[in-house]
């Protein structure tokens, strides 16, 4: 997806999950809807945010607490140092205020803030619910500066399940050496903070940076003596995986030679089963102005760099989806994809007629 070359200002570090702002933690609960437990300031938990008939929608109940946090053990909910500081010093919770604690895997528990790292459970563990389907994946080309943090934050708030930082042929920004591991750790922290703020029960997967070829069944393969597959193997070997497919089975076994589709295309194999080659890349789409309307038929969408896709990348994935005639920045396009997919999955909007 090409984006405008016009400059734009990025959000401040505080708005990108520093823990000191509404965007970085459970700051959205600072308004008059804040509930307390046994302090009597607003009402006990029996008549507060966790009250009401059985079967109340989790989201409604979670929105009414003073804060939402993630803990390792719901049987003994205890805050880490960063989360304790956030609740005590940033949100300045009062003893008795209601807090929800989740495990990041769908389960959660009603608790009460006591001014200590240990939360006081006030309800039973609500067993993990199945995550919403289909799982949504947005992969975006690595951008400069703090834009990846902003993108990950917003995609998490929207409910995207897997967020992938990607490199492509025309990517300008690079994370060299150990920087990639440090930046990925930071992005995962941003996602966790955004999940707390948005009251998510499931933590998203945050991955990267990975090459564009990792999304293509079999990988992009150039012609000539330096042929390779996405996994870095110097040519296909019978009986060995053809290439990685991160959103399907872990590997696909080649029983014979791999044929090339064009001078630079997708590795395919006669008689292979599983997502190997162009024909079986269902559910995956590139964001491109030539595409059609986005639907849940392609819950995995790749957003390119500001320089756009290369001809080889466009040829590798036949399915294209469009976000309209405007030229968007790469991070804007990624968030727009997240908004549309999340709205489609929740039923807030309907797919266009076929």
Low-confidence ranges of the chain (pLDDT < 50): 1-56, 221-281
pTM of the model: 0.69
Q: Is 41 within a domain?
A: yes
| Per-residue model confidence as pLDDT tens digits over 266-307 | 333 333 333 323 323 459 999 999 999 999 999 999 999 988
Contacts of 343 (CB under 8 A, 6+ apart): 349
Are both 86 and 19 inside the same structural domain? yes
Are both 23 and 82 inside the same structural domain? yes
Are both 301 and 199 inside the same structural domain? yes
CA 140 vs CA 64, 156, 288: distances in Å: 33, 14, 13
- Indicate the residue among 90, 121, 152 that finishes a domain: 121
How far apart CA 140 and CA 298 sit, in angstroms, is 15
List phi, psi (to 5°) of 219.
85, 160
The SS3 call for residue 125 is: coil
Are both 193 and 327 inside the same structural domain? yes
Are both 173 and 95 inside the same structural domain? no
Which domain does 291 fall in, by range? 137-215+281-346
The closest of 84, 79, 92, 74 to 27, measured between CA atoms, is: 92
At 76, list the tokens.
């003994």
DSSP 8-state secondary structure symbol assigned to residue 40: S
The pLDDT, as a whole number, for residue 42 is 27
Find the CATH number of the domain harbouring 188.
3.40.1280.10
Are both 22 and 74 inside the same structural domain? yes
Q: Is 237 within a domain?
A: no
Q: Is 228 within a domain?
A: no
Q: Is 258 within a domain?
A: no
Q: Is 353 within a domain?
A: no
The pLDDT, as a whole number, for residue 249 is 31
| Per-residue model confidence as pLDDT tens digits over 161-192 | 999 999 998 888 877 777 778 889 999 999 99
Q: How distant is the alpha carbon of residue 135 from its chain centre?
A: 10
- Indicate the residue among 86, 121, 156 that finishes a domain: 121
The pLDDT, as a whole number, for residue 285 is 95
Report the domain count for the chain.
Answer: 2
* Residue matched to tokens 């007629």: 353
Q: Is 59 within a domain?
A: yes
Q: Is 334 within a domain?
A: yes
The SS3 call for residue 224 is: coil
The closest of 139, 143, 136 to 329, measured between CA atoms, is: 143
């Amino acid at each position: 997806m090409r984006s405008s070359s016009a400059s734009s200002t990025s959000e401040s570090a505080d708005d990108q999950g520093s823990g000191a702002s509404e965007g970085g933690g459970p700051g959205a609960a600072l308004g008059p809807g804040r509930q307390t437990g046994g302090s009597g300031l607003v009402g006990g938990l029996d008549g507060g945010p966790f009250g009401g008939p059985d079967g109340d929608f989790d989201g409604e109940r979670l929105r009414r607490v003073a804060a939402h946090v993630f803990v390792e053990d719901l049987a003994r909910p205890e805050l880490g140092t960063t989360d304790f500081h956030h609740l005590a010093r940033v949100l300045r919770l009062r003893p008795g205020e209601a807090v929800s604690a989740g495990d990041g895997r769908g389960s959660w528990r009603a608790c009460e803030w006591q001014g200590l790292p240990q939360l006081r459970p006030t309800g039973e563990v609500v067993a993990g619910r199945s995550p919403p389907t289909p799982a949504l994946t947005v992969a975006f080309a690595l951008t400069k500066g703090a834009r990846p943090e902003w993108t990950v934050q917003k995609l998490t708030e929207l409910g995207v399940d897997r967020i992938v930082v990607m490199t492509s042929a025309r990517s300008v920004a690079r994370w060299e050496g150990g920087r990639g591991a440090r930046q990925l750790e930071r992005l995962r922290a941003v996602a966790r903070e955004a999940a707390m703020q948005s009251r998510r029960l499931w933590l998203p997967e945050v991955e990267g940076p990975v090459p564009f070829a990792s999304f293509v069944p079999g990988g992009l393969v150039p012609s000539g003596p330096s042929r390779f597959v996405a996994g870095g193997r110097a040519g296909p070997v019978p009986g060995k995986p053809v290439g990685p497919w991160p959103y399907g089975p872990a590997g696909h076994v080649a029983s014979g030679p791999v044929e090339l589709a064009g001078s630079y295309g997708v590795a395919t194999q006669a008689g292979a089963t599983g997502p190997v080659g162009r024909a079986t890349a269902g559910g995956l789409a590139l964001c491109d102005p030539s595409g059609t309307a986005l639907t849940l038929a392609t819950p995995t969408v790749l957003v390119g760099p500001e320089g756009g896709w290369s001809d080889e990348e466009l040829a590798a994935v036949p399915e294209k989806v469009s976000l309209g005639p405007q030229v968007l920045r790469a991070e804007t396009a990624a968030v727009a994809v997240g908004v549309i997919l999340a709205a489609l999955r929740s039923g807030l909007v309907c797919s266009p007629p076929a």
